[in-house]
Structure 1
Amino acid sequence: MEDNNMDIEIQAPVDKNKMKELKAGDMVYITGTIYTARDAAHKRMSEALAKGEKLPIDMEGNLIYYMGPSPAREGRPIGSAGPTTASRMDKYAPALLDLGLSGMIGKGKRSKEVIDAMVKNDAVYFAAIGGAGALLSKAIIQSEVIAYDDLGTEAIRKLKVERFPAIVVIDSMGNNLYETAGEKYNLD
């Protein structure tokens, strides 16, 4: 795997062919529509699927950002918007990937089952920088709760983002920056 220092602009929703072009280590800027969902929303979606019910969002080509924002300050569409630990959604992610989810944004490692489902479905896992929620919120220009309002910060939100910064951590071939960086720098 070679180093790539080029920044890449992508439009969300994202075409699967575009996802196949992204490589672990790529810095991307996402513009368009993405959705938020955390543990409780994923559990509800899983329950809906088990009952044969329609999900509140169409997964095809979409990105889910694992995030629950703080309250918006006056004049802003959203408060601090930092990523949540992705592994908490691992038991739900393969089913959503099979429904066409193109990618996920979070922080931390993913399970082998999620990585296998990503490879099978040409999907990508992006990392957003933890601890930088206030900075990340500046790339969010619109926020609207679209499902599970009773969950508060864990409700599903539709976000309009402009140049939202993320790093491809696991690409559609299963290349994993957490592993390659660890090997490169002799990290445990």
Structure 2
Amino acid sequence: MSKEPIHIRTPLTRETNESLQTGDVVLLSGVLFTARDAAHARIKKAIENDEPLPFDPEGQVVYFTGPAPARPGHALGPAGPTTASRMDPYSPLLIERGLKGMVGKGLRSEAVLSSMREHGCLYFGAVEGTAALLADRVKEAEVVAYEDLGAEAVRRLVVEDFPVVVVNDLRGGDLYREGRERWRRRRAR
């Protein structure tokens, strides 16, 4: 694990992702897209119908969040991470199309983890309870698709030093599993 945060610019590449490992603290700068359950369902339908997607997933990072309305003088309202497993039925479709990063909270399914390893995608965790602090890292925000979904619309965010932790790396590392194993070992002493 790295001791100092690693500064990374989006879009991500497989080579960049291969250099990171579970537990690395990363400060993302560049573009992130937001999408939650309802947006993912529409993206799946667009893929199935061979329709254009709201963004080209190649090299991109999707943040699973539904932000609150922006306060005056802010690009985005509080935007904490959503439980990622709700996107598991849809994530491989975007990963297969070049998605290189996802940000959320909680465990991912084995199908998603397998797709991530095969296609070079990382899963990052954002800290729960820091929605307002995370929103402060957003410099620009605009709805790019599905405006009728309100908070669940797809947004294009420009972020600066957006803090995340690598939860699942390309080597099969899993921060949740590893953390539980360390806890069990310490408890057994």
Asked if these proteins are the same fold (TM beyond 0.5), I'd say: yes
Question: In the aligned structure 1, how far is the partner of 2:2 from the partner of 2:25?
Answer: 9
1:164 aligned to 2:162?
yes
Question: In the aligned structure 2, how far is the partner of 1:146 from the partner of 1:74?
Answer: 21
1:17-59 Cα shifts (integer Å, max 9, x gaps)? 1011110000000000110000000000000111111111001
Counting only pairs closer than 5 Å after superposition, residues 54-69 of structure 1 correspond to structure 2 as: 54-69=52-67
Question: In the aligned structure 1, how far is the partner of 2:78 from the partner of 2:127?
Answer: 12
Code of the residue aligned with 2:173 in structure 1: it is N
Structure 1 residue runs of 4 or more that deviate by more than 2 Å after TM superposition: none
1:77-132 Cα shifts (integer Å, max 9, x gaps)? 11001000000000000111000000100000000000000000111000001111
SS of equivalent to 1:186: helix
What is aligned with 2:81? 83
CA apart distance, 1:183? 0.5
1:117-156 Cα shifts (integer Å, max 9, x gaps)? 0000111000001111001111001100000001000000
What is aligned with 2:131? 133
SS of equivalent to 2:120: coil
Code of the residue aligned with 1:10 in structure 2: it is I
CA apart distance, 1:6? 2.6
Question: In the aligned structure 2, how far is the partner of 1:122 from the partner of 1:6?
Answer: 23
What is aligned with 1:19? 17
Of residues 13-22 and 58-67 in structure 1, the stretch that sits farther from structure 2 once superposed is 13-22
Code of the residue aligned with 1:58 in structure 2: it is D
CA apart distance, 1:184? 1.0
What is aligned with 2:91? 93
Aligned-residue RMSD, C-alpha: 1.2
Aligned residues: 186
1:72 aligned to 2:70?
yes
Q: Residue 46 of structure 2 is aligned with which of 44, 48, 51?
A: 48
Is the contact between residue 59 and residue 99 of structure 1 (CA under 8 Å) also seen in structure 2? yes
Question: In the aligned structure 1, how far is the partner of 2:92 from the partner of 2:83?
Answer: 16
TM-score (norm 1): 0.96
Identical counterparts, % of pairs? 45
- Segments of 5+ residues of structure 2 without an aligned counterpart are none
